Amino acid sequence: MWELIRANKRKSLFLFFVMGICLLVLGFFIGGAYAGDDGGFIGLFVAFGIWILMSMISYFRGDSIILMMSRAKKVSYNVHPQLFNVVEEMKLAANLPVMPDIYIIPEEAPNAFAVGKKPEYCAIAVTAGLLERLNRDELQGVIAHEMSHILNRDVLFMTFSGVLLGSIVFLSHVFLRSMWFSGGGSRFRSKSSKGGGQLQLILIVVALIMAILAPLMARLLYLAISRKREYLADASAVRLTRYPEGLACALEKISLNNYEMKTANKATAALYIANPLKPKGMKLSNLTSTHPPMDERIRILRNISHGANFIDYQNAFTSIKGKQNIIPSSGIRERKKINIRTSTAASTQTKSTKKSTRDLGDLMRAVNKYMFLSCACGLKMKLPPNFKKDKISCPRCGRENHVPIAELAAMSGMIAIDEKNDSIQNNEQVKQDSFVYNRTGKGWETFSCRCGSPKQLSPAFNKASFVCNKCGRKIEIKGP
């Protein structure tokens, strides 16, 4: 496996350097076009500076910027136990040193991505729509795909290539704009008449050609890298799950979706398991997409027979796409037979569309920091985070209900209590009178502990009690 990762890294590094040279050469000629031969080196230097600066930003802040842009929120176990279990399972299968942080994106479009400079520090983000639509086997396929991106160091690499591409596009754009506004280079011509004009004219022409070609070339390289990595992650996912049909079904469901993601953009699109931006035009998008066509990925997965090792994926790939190496040779050499497993029975669960729509809505609201109050009369009130009154009189029965907004504001990032972490940490605190909360339903519920600290129960919370992490009180939960 290590050899495979290294081979993958080598190949990508090569393409990465070709892109880097593209940027530097572009910088050199643009500089030359402006100020003759001295300018070439200034241009080179400026291009290099932009590259380093942007790479630094994306290395040190990339993960958080991407997560923030996608509006993903970190969640605890109780928000979606199945998701956590699947991630843990795949973490063990992939031999990942730590459990990735888990984020949910409040969007209806089913999609997912992973970030992380290295396997020791990484996160997986999935949309609420994905969780609501996929069964366990399908979710496992998607998580395994993301886990593979982490293992293969794809995230760091894709971010860096994206930044490089961005720098090239930016430089050529600025140059072409300035040429346009200076009246097609008249300013250069007057300077060049003073002497050495011939050389400068050539530099301008070369710079123009470069400014047009470099972004195209860089983009093609970038696409080649990102597509290959998608196939490789699919192949690794099959190996980890031993169940190609799971991922195939998941991709099928994802491709049937009609929602466009509001929080994705061109810069982050390559990170997602499926292109989050709906192509505006026609089939042309197949050429310029960061992702291989979905139907092809699905067909390859469904063509896998015999086993779940890399060689089996490569064979399926060859039978559909022709001779082309997707898996580095070290992966192919690994001949250990991995049998395909059968589907888990738990996968077949059906929910009514009405219930499913409501569950999806509540999950998105929970991620968006809504409070879920239940009045004693049975009416449920879901309050958005910009609700600013600390009392609400129930529209049904008129009872006054306390809204823990002040307490909530004091806490950050609360979505559902996590009895795994919350209760253990503060076990030594003084035990006080216990406190009983009567649950009114099976959904999300927000209430305050007697100490004022707000608590949120997710539909999955099924413990009889937990300990308040503020005051150490035992809170008993009585079910409906």
Partner 1 sequence: MDCPVCKNEPMIVLELNEVEIDYCLSCKGIWLDAGELELLLGSSTETVEFLNSFTSDDITKEKTHKCPICNKKMEKILVIGNRKVRIDKCKYNHGIWFDSGELEDILGMRKLDNKNKVLTLLNDMLGKKIKE
Q: How far apart are CA 477 and CA 109, in angstroms?
A: 34
Q: Is 83:196 a contact under the CB 8 Å cutoff?
A: no
Choosing among Zn ion, partner 1, none, which partner's interface includes residue 358 (Cβ < 5 to 8 Å by kind)? partner 1
**258 in contact with partner 1 (CB under 8 A):** no
Q: Which of 411, 416, 407 is nearest to 458 (CA)?
A: 416
**375 in contact with Zn ion (CB under 5 A):** yes
Nearer to Zn ion, 346 or 377 (CB): 377
Q: Is 357:35 a contact under the CB 8 Å cutoff?
A: no
Active-site residue, from 107, 108, 146, 245: 146
**392 in contact with Zn ion (CB under 5 A):** no
Nearer to Zn ion, 61 or 399 (CB): 399
Residue 435 host element (H or E): strand 435-438
**204 in contact with partner 1 (CB under 8 A):** no
Q: Which of 11, 86, 3 is nearest to 326 (CA)?
A: 11
Query: Which residue shows structure tokens 């860096």?
Result: 160
The CA R_g of the chain, rounded to the nearest whole Å, is 27
Residues 70 to 109: which contact partner 1 by CB under 8 A?
A: none
Per the structure block, which two tokens stand in for 201? 């004219």
Distances (CA, A) of 293 to 54, 232, 274: 30, 14, 9
89 is catalytic: no
Find the binder of partner 1 among 383, 416, 471, 475 (CB under 8 A): 383
**409 in contact with Zn ion (CB under 5 A):** no
Question: Closest distance between partner 1 and the C-beta of residue 347, in Å?
Answer: 26
- Cross-strand bridge partners of residue 274: none
Q: How far apart are CA 220 and CA 158, in angstroms?
A: 14
Question: Closest distance between partner 1 and the C-beta of residue 447, in Å?
Answer: 16
Residue 216 host element (H or E): helix 197-241
Residues 350 to 369: which contact partner 1 by CB under 8 A?
A: 354-355, 358, 361, 365
Nearer to partner 1, 11 or 380 (CB): 380
Q: How far apart are CA 53 and CA 49, in angstroms?
A: 6
Q: Which of 25, 74, 23 is nearest to 51 (CA)?
A: 23
Choosing among Zn ion, partner 1, none, which partner's interface includes residue 354 (Cβ < 5 to 8 Å by kind)? partner 1
Nearer to partner 1, 132 or 476 (CB): 132
Find the binder of partner 1 among 57, 397, 409, 410 (CB under 8 A): 397
Nearer to partner 1, 149 or 365 (CB): 365
Q: How far apart are CA 40 and CA 28, in angstroms?
A: 4
Stretch that binds Zn ion, among 111-119, 134-142, 166-174, 469-477 (CB under 5 A): 469-477
Q: Which of 147, 161, 108 is nearest to 276 (CA)?
A: 108
Distances (CA, A) of 108 to 44, 68, 130, 428: 45, 18, 8, 42
Question: Closest distance between Zn ion and the C-beta of residue 326, in Å?
Answer: 44
Question: Closest distance between Zn ion and the C-beta of residue 461, in Å?
Answer: 17
State which amino acid sits at residue 310: F
Strand-strand pairing, 121-127 and 380-383:
unpaired
Question: Closest distance between Zn ion and the C-beta of residue 475, in Å?
Answer: 7
> How many whole angstroms from its chain centre is CA 234?
16
Q: Is 100:118 a contact under the CB 8 Å cutoff?
A: no
Choosing among Zn ion, partner 1, none, which partner's interface includes residue 451 (Cβ < 5 to 8 Å by kind)? Zn ion
Question: Closest distance between Zn ion and the C-beta of residue 452, in Å?
Answer: 7
Q: Which of 260, 318, 27 is nearest to 164 (CA)?
A: 27
Choosing among partner 1, Zn ion, none, which partner's interface includes residue 378 (Cβ < 5 to 8 Å by kind)? partner 1
Q: Is 53:23 a contact under the CB 8 Å cutoff?
A: no
**Per-residue contact string for residues 422-461; x = within reach of partner 1 by CB under 8 A:** ---------------------x------------------
Nearer to Zn ion, 131 or 375 (CB): 375
Find the binder of Zn ion among 394, 440, 474, 476 (CB under 5 A): 394
Q: Which of 301, 305, 320 is nearest to 137 (CA)?
A: 301
Q: How far apart are CA 420 and CA 78, in angstroms?
A: 9
Q: Is 19:165 a contact under the CB 8 Å cutoff?
A: yes
**471 in contact with Zn ion (CB under 5 A):** yes
Stretch that binds partner 1, among 74-82, 84-92, 104-112, 386-394 (CB under 8 A): 386-394
> How many residues sit in the footprint of Zn ion (CB under 5 A)?
14
**260 in contact with partner 1 (CB under 8 A):** no
Query: Which residue shows structure tokens 């040779």?
Result: 329
Nearer to partner 1, 183 or 398 (CB): 398
Question: Closest distance between partner 1 and the C-beta of residue 80, in Å?
Answer: 20
Question: Closest distance between partner 1 and the C-beta of residue 356, in Å?
Answer: 12
| Interface positions with partner 1 (CB under 8 A) | 354-355, 358, 361, 365, 370, 378-384, 386-388, 392, 394-398, 443
| Interface positions with Zn ion (CB under 5 A) | 375, 377, 379, 394, 396-397, 399, 449, 451, 453, 468, 470-471, 473
Question: Where in the sequence numbering do the catalytic residues fall?
Answer: 146
